[in-house]
Amino acid sequence: MSKHVIVIGGGVAGLEAAGRLSLEGLEVSLLEKDKITGGHLNRWFRLFPDRRDSTEVKNYLDGLTHVNNVRLLTNITVEKLEKEKDHFTVMTTEGKELKADAVIVATGFDLFKSSRKEEYGYGIYDNVITSADLEDMFREGDIVTREGEVPSNIGIVHCVGSRDEKVGNLYCSKLCCVTAVKQAIEIREQLPESKVFCFYMDMRMGGAHYEELYREAQEVWGVNFIRGKVSEASETIDKKVVVKVEDTLAGRPLKMKLDMLVLMAGMEMSEGGKKIAEMTGLKTGENRFFEVADHHFGSNRSDIEGLFYAGTCTAPMNITETISHARAAVSEVVEYLKKS
Amino acid sequence: MEKFGFTITKGRQIDYEANDRGVAGYIYEKEPSFRLCIECGGCSATCTTANMTKFSLRELNILIKRGENDQVRKSIQKCMLCGKCSLVCPRGVNTRNVVFLARQAFQKNGQYAI
C-alpha cells in the first residue's frame, strides 16, 4: 500500500511539494485554507527579475498537481495535528479526520500589516498604498490616486516591517528591495511622465539578475534612489503626501511632496503557521518563523520526525528558492518513508 | 537696543520642490551615465583634491541631483579634472565629464555663473 503524505498550505511551496511527492508514487493530500491554490502568487501581477506574468508560474504549479492526481482539499483549516507512533492525524475545522505517514508544513508567510507603521499613514491617508495594492493597479492597468488623478511623483519606502526593532522584526525580508525596483520600473513603463523615488536603507540586490535590474532602473528608467529611512509622512490639504527623510548621502534632512507613497511590506510568519506551531509545540525562532533543525543541512527538518518544512514558513524566500526548498523537502520525506 | 550677536541661520533641510535641479537635468541629457552613481565614494577616495581639501565628488553628485546649487557652485571649482575618479568608478560613470558639464551648466545659467 502506498504511503500517504499531507501537505499543509497550497501556495508555491505546497503545490511544488505535493506535485513532486505524487511523482514519487506517494498518495498526497494538499490542504489549502482559501478557495483556490496559489497563495500570494495570485496577488502578484508580474514577477521579478524578468517581469514575467505570474500566471505562467501558477499554471506550471497547478499543472504539476493536476497531472499527478494530488488530492486537493480547499477551504480547509487544520484544527489539530498530532503524531502517534509513526502516524500523523490531522483534524480539520470541518470535522474531517485525515491520517498520514508524513507531513509537510508549507504555511508560507503573511505580508506585514503596514498600518502598524502608523507614521506612514497607511489606512489613514488617501494616497499611501502598499506594494500589494500597487500590484492590483498594475493588473488593472490603472495607476491613479484615490482622487482619480494620474500621479506624477511617486515615492517607494523600502523596509516597511523589516529590519525594524519597533515592530519586532529584526530580519531582512529580502524581496522588498527587488520588488521596489521592479515596481518602480513598471510605474515608469505605464506612466512615462512620472518620477519615482525609492527611499532605502541599503539596496540588497543579492539574487540572480537583481543588480542588473537595479542598474536598468537607473539607466533606462531614470528611477531616483535616495538613501534614508522615511521617518514620517503627512497629508496636505490637497491629499498629497509629504515625506521627511534624511538624505544620508548628502548628510542633510530632506522634505518632499509626493502624489502617492508605496510601502514595501515585508514578510512575517503566517497566522496559519503560528496556529500550527501552537498546536504541535514546533519551535519558532526569534523571527517567529519555524526554527529548522539545522540551518546548513537540515533546513527542511523540524524537531518532530516525519514532519518537514517547505518554503517561507521557515524564512523569507523568493519563488526560485521556495521551489528548490519544496523539492528538498520531498527528498527528505522520501528518505524518511524508506527508513520507517 | 543692545545687539547680542544672534542671527537666524538658514535651515539645513533640503526642500526638494523649492530647489532648481536644472544643472542635474543638463548633465543627465549629455552624460546619461550620471544616473548610474550609487554613491559608493570610490571617486572621492582616489581624488587628490579630496585628500587635501573638503572637496567630495560623491557628495557633489548628490547635491547636484538635489539642486543644492550654492554649495555645488562653490565646491566644483576645486576639481582639477584629472579624471582619476572615472578610472575607479564601478558603475562606469564618466565622473570627469559630470564635473565638466556641471561647470558648463553653471556658466550657461547667469544666475549660477561661476
Whole-number pLDDT of residue B2: 74
Give the 3-state DSSP-derived string for A202-239, with helices as H, strands as E and coil as C.
CCCCCCCCHHHHHHHHHHCCCCEEEECCEEEEEECCCC
A14 and A100 share one domain: yes
Task: Single out the residue in A216, A248, A266 at which a domain terminates.
Answer: A266
Output the domain CATH number for residue A245.
3.50.50.60
Interatomic CA distance for residues A201 and A293, integer angstroms: 32
Q: Is residue B9 part of a domain?
A: no
Q: Are strands A252-258 and A260-265 parallel, antiparallel or unpaired?
A: unpaired
Q: Is residue B32 part of a domain?
A: yes
Task: Single out the residue in A266, A301, A327 at which a domain terminates.
Answer: A266
Interatomic CA distance for residues A285 and A279, integer angstroms: 16
A77 and A190 share one domain: no
User: Any residues with CB less than 8 A from the CB of B30 and at least 6 apart, and which?
Assistant: B97, B101
Q: Does B35 touch chain A (CB under 8 A)?
A: yes
Q: Is residue B86 part of a domain?
A: yes
Whole-number pLDDT of residue B1: 66
Task: Single out the residue in A218, A246, A266 at which a domain terminates.
Answer: A266
Whether residue A181 has pLDDT greater than 80: yes
Closest CA to A14 of A114, A103, A97, A95: A103
A182 and A313 share one domain: no
A124 and A64 share one domain: no
Contact A329, A309 (CB under 8 A): yes
Distance from CA of A199 to the nearest CA of B (A): 13
Q: Is residue B17 part of a domain?
A: no
A118 and A262 share one domain: yes
Whether residue B112 has pLDDT greater than 60: no
Q: Are strands A307-309 and A153-160 parallel, antiparallel or unpaired?
A: unpaired
- Whether the CA torsion A201, A159, A174, A268 is positive or negative: it is positive
Report the b/e string of B67-79 with b at 16+ CB within 10 A.
bbbeebbebbebb
Mean pLDDT of A214-243: 96
B12:A252 CB<8 A: yes
Interatomic CA distance for residues A24 and A15, integer angstroms: 14
Mean pLDDT taken over chain A: 96
Whole-number pLDDT of residue A243: 96
The amino acid that residue A315 corresponds to is: A
Whole-number pLDDT of residue B111: 60
A189 and A249 share one domain: yes
Cell numbers 527528505 correspond to A332
Q: Which of A185, A198, A210, A218 to mutate to test the interface with B (most CBs of B within 10 A)?
A: A218
Q: In chain A, whose CA is at the least distance from the CA of B33? A: A219
Interatomic CA distance for residues A144 and A194, integer angstroms: 12
Closest CA to A143 of A216, A178, A180, A192: A192
A218, A249, A253: residue with CB nearest B12: A253
Q: Which domain holds residue A246?
A: 114-266
Domain count, chain B: 1
Residues in chain B with CB shorter than 8 Å from the CB of A222 are: 28, 35
Mean pLDDT of B4-20: 87
A174 and A207 share one domain: yes
Mean pLDDT of B14-19: 92
Q: Is residue B11 part of a domain?
A: no
Mean pLDDT of A262-282: 97
Widest pairwise Cα distance in chain B: 59
Whole-number pLDDT of residue B110: 63
Q: Which of A254, A257, A258, A259 to mutate to test the interface with B (most CBs of B within 10 A)?
A: A254
Output the domain CATH number for residue B56.
1.10.1060.10
Residues in chain A with CB shorter than 8 Å from the CB of B94 are: none
* pLDDT-based confidence at residue B113 (cuts at 50, 70, 90): low
Q: Does B56 touch chain A (CB under 8 A)?
A: no
A100 and A160 share one domain: no
Contact A89, A98 (CB under 8 A): yes
Whether residue B23 has pLDDT greater than 90: yes
Can you name the residues that pair with B99 across neighbouring β-strands?
none
B14, B39, B58: residue with CB nearest A252: B14
* pLDDT-based confidence at residue A304 (cuts at 50, 70, 90): very high
Q: Does B108 touch chain A (CB under 8 A)?
A: no
Mean pLDDT of A160-182: 96
A278 and A330 share one domain: yes
Interatomic CA distance for residues A87 and A100, integer angstroms: 6
Q: Which domain holds residue B83?
A: 22-112
Whole-number pLDDT of residue A190: 96
Beta strand ranges found along A13-122 (DSSP E):
27-31, 46-47, 52-53, 71-73, 78-84, 87-92, 97-100, 102-105, 109-111
Whether residue B62 has pLDDT greater than 80: yes
Whole-number pLDDT of residue A171: 97
Whole-number pLDDT of residue A214: 97
A297 and A255 share one domain: no
Whether residue A300 has pLDDT greater than 70: yes
Chain A positions with Cβ closer than 8 Å to B: 203, 215, 218-219, 222, 224-225, 227, 247, 249-257
A73 and A136 share one domain: no
A102 and A139 share one domain: no
Q: Does B40 touch chain A (CB under 8 A)?
A: no
Whether residue A104 has pLDDT greater than 80: yes
Domain count, chain A: 2
Mean pLDDT of B87-106: 94
Contact A195, A152 (CB under 8 A): yes
Q: Are strands A230-235 and A241-247 parallel, antiparallel or unpaired?
A: antiparallel
Mean pLDDT of A121-136: 98
The burial class, CB within 10 Å (0-12 / 13-18 / 19+), for A255 is middle
Contact A255, A236 (CB under 8 A): no
Query: Is the pTM value of this prediction over 0.90?
Result: yes
CA A283 to chain centre: 21
Can you name the residues that pair with A53 across neighbouring β-strands?
A46
A254:B13 CB<8 A: yes
